[in-house]
Copies of this chain bind each other. A is one copy, B any other.
């Protein structure tokens, strides 16, 4: 949404996966020909803020692994307005929604400097190529994204601006902290306009809500982009005793013990469970 067209993944950018810092956590690891066995099929790229990984209509013959940075996907209405569909963070797979198609359905734009890695996925079309573990891993990512979408759909229905923004900030905090303890202090890589579009609100409303939250001492915002959640309890209360967003994975309705009762909290994000070493 900033620069013109860049070649998505040119031939020059190939890289050996075994040299990749994110090797261990890469969900594409067990694809054959992905470079993990030594050949050079994985294509890696660095993007500046505002650059596109792909645009609507580009060939959809790859899946993208986000190694570092942040992305958004969006669609353009015929009127030309951008609707943000989702945000992506390190460890996420981007472009899953276009896997069966020949063309990308959405556009993916870097919100900050990014390192991404693309695996050409003709292999997925061909019968024999991708290994089952790799397929299962991709499927797991897809499933996680479906959960994320379900939560978003629930959030957008009948929830006030305040609830949406609070839920958004809480989820961001969860997703940005790779593990356990939510990082209560983080940087918003996206603009107010992006947030507004994502939450189906007007920019002004997002701004007002943030101001209100600040005035009530629940959060603090420094220099427009750094957010600090001062009272996460109050935030959760605003979202509404684990409301529709979180309710999806907060364990409401879980009849039996163990296992998922904690994990699903993390499952909301698209973020992979463990994404250690990328930086």
Enumerate chain A interface residues (CB-CB to B < 8 A).
55-57, 73, 75-79, 83, 85-86, 96-103, 105-106, 124, 127-128, 130, 132-133, 135-136, 138-140, 142-147, 149-150, 152-154, 156-158, 197, 200, 240-244, 247-249, 252-256, 259-260, 263-264, 267
| Other A-B pairs, 18, CB within 8 Å; known A98-B143, A152-B153 | A56-B254, A57-B256, A75-B244, A75-B247, A78-B240, A78-B242, A78-B243, A86-B150, A101-B264, A105-B147, A127-B133, A130-B132, A138-B139, A139-B139, A142-B142, A145-B146, A149-B152, A153-B153
- Specify which chain B residues have a CB less than 8 angstroms from the CB of A253 in the assembled complex: 55-57, 76
* Contact A143–B143 (Cβ < 8 Å): no
Query: In the complex the two chains form, what is the Cα distance from A154 to B86 in whole Å?
Result: 11
- Specify which chain B residues have a CB less than 8 angstroms from the CB of A97 in the assembled complex: 143, 146-147, 149-150
Interchain residue pairs with CB less than 8 A apart (6): A57-B254, A83-B153, A86-B150, A101-B260, A135-B135, A135-B139
Query: In the complex the two chains form, what is the Cα distance from A56 to B98 in whole Å?
Result: 28
Query: In the complex the two chains form, what is the Cα distance from A153 to B105 in whole Å?
Result: 14
Query: In the complex the two chains form, what is the Cα distance from A149 to B57 in whole Å?
Result: 19
Query: In the complex the two chains form, what is the Cα distance from A98 to B98 in whole Å?
Result: 20
Integer count of this chain's copies in the complex:
2
* Contact B140–A99 (Cβ < 8 Å): yes
Query: In the complex the two chains form, what is the Cα distance from A138 to B143 in whole Å?
Result: 11
Query: In the complex the two chains form, what is the Cα distance from A103 to B256 in whole Å?
Result: 9
Task: For the complex of A and B, list the 10 residue pairs with the smallest distance between their C-beta atoms, beginning with the closest.
Answer: A149-B149, A56-B253, A157-B200, A97-B146, A142-B142, A99-B143, A57-B253, A135-B135, A57-B254, A57-B255
* Contact B139–A99 (Cβ < 8 Å): yes
Query: In the complex the two chains form, what is the Cα distance from A67 to B57 in whole Å?
Result: 33
* Contact A143–B96 (Cβ < 8 Å): yes
Query: In the complex the two chains form, what is the Cα distance from A124 to B147 in whole Å?
Result: 18
- Specify which chain B residues have a CB less than 8 angstroms from the CB of A128 in the assembled complex: 132
Query: In the complex the two chains form, what is the Cα distance from A47 to B154 in whole Å?
Result: 26
Query: In the complex the two chains form, what is the Cα distance from A144 to B146 in whole Å?
Result: 10
- Specify which chain B residues have a CB less than 8 angstroms from the CB of A96 in the assembled complex: 142-143, 146
* Contact B83–A244 (Cβ < 8 Å): yes
